Amino acid sequence: MSIANSESPAASDAEPWGNNVKVEFEDGIAWVILNRPEKRNAMSPSLNREMIRVLDALEVDERCKVLVLTGAGESYSAGMDLKEYFRETDNATPVEVMRVRRDSMAWQWRRLMFYPKPTIAMVNGWCFGGAFTSLVSCDLSIAAEEAIFGLSEVNWGIIPAGNVMRAVAEKMCTSDALYYLMTGEPFDGKKASETRLVNEAVPLAQLRDRTRQIALKLMEKNLHVVRAIKLTYRRVKEMNWDVSEDYLYAKAGETYASDPDKGREKGMTQFLDKKAFKPGLGNYNNET
């Protein structure tokens, strides 16, 4: 059975990617590319384990300021691997199944949703089933208008698990969610944007440039503060107003105290004393 350890020795080298995932660095962006194009980037147990190691490594890699998750070839990802994730685990013990599922969830939402760096999902093509979890767990998402999405589980007789249904409920309104969950009907990138499943859709030819532009815009910001914003947002969504008021004041103080750039100080001085910029219209100058 392939679920125990199907990685080649390359997986334990200094850079943990290479078998199922490719990583390319460019101007502070780490392009993390699910790399099984011949299987439409379906997520196998070994891909899931590799992604955990990739996220671990990029967390402390200075070449990665913003992480973009995408897929090789014509797919973002065709979802969970029906052969390696489903059929080949049908006869595994409950503990083995639990381990396989845990690895999958470990990166697709648990790590990704609370990743300490900004994340953008770039949906370049097919995006089915299990792929919705990582898509929704990224902070931002840009799709090609031509990309095809589908909650296809109903088409082959299962319910969308792997937190897919929870992910859909996070972004789509109930009428859209139930329509696509119950019919399994595919929809394109434009529709994904209309339903707010993704931030925006652009023609495929512009997808990489637009994603790059957004990543660079994020990098102009104080990334210590950006990190605090994305993490606190995820938490306050689950809180009532009294608790979130208290939590946010505490987090604001902590963020300010631990900011290596002392951005708040610079921002106030440049606006109030030097009259050098307007916070409503742009960013403070980190050089002064």
Integer Cα distance of 284 and 144 in angstroms: 33
Exposure string over 240-263, b if 16+ CB within 10 A, otherwise e: eeeebeeeeeebeeebeeebeeeb
Query: Which 54-93 positions form the footprint of ligand COA (CB under 6 A)?
Result: 78-83
Q: x/- site string to ligand COA, residues 3 to 42, per CB under 6 A?
A: ------------------------------------xx-x
Considering the complex, state which of residue 28 and residue 37 has its C-beta at the smaller distance from ligand COA: 37
Considering the complex, state which of residue 128 and residue 187 has its C-beta at the smaller distance from ligand COA: 128
Enter the DSSP assignment of 121.
E
Catalytic site residue 80? Answer: yes
Catalytic site residue 165? Answer: no
Q: Tell me phi and psi for residue 149, to 5 degrees.
A: -105, 155
Integer Cα distance of 231 and 254 in angstroms: 13
Considering the complex, state which of residue 154 and residue 219 has its C-beta at the smaller distance from ligand COA: 154
Q: Out of 17, 76, 128, 132, which residue is the one contacting ligand COA (CB under 6 A)?
A: 128
Catalytic residue (choose from 130, 150, 162, 263): 130
Does the footprint of ligand COA cover residue 196 (CB under 6 A)?
Answer: no
- Give just the sign of the alpha carbon dihedral 148, 47, 30, 66: positive
Catalytic residue (choose from 43, 50, 51, 80): 80
The Cα-based distances of 194 to 78, 180, 189, 200 in angstroms read 22, 14, 9, 8
Residues interacting with ligand COA, by CB under 6 A?
Answer: 39-40, 42, 78-83, 126, 128-130, 152-153
Active-site residue set: 80, 85, 130, 153, 249
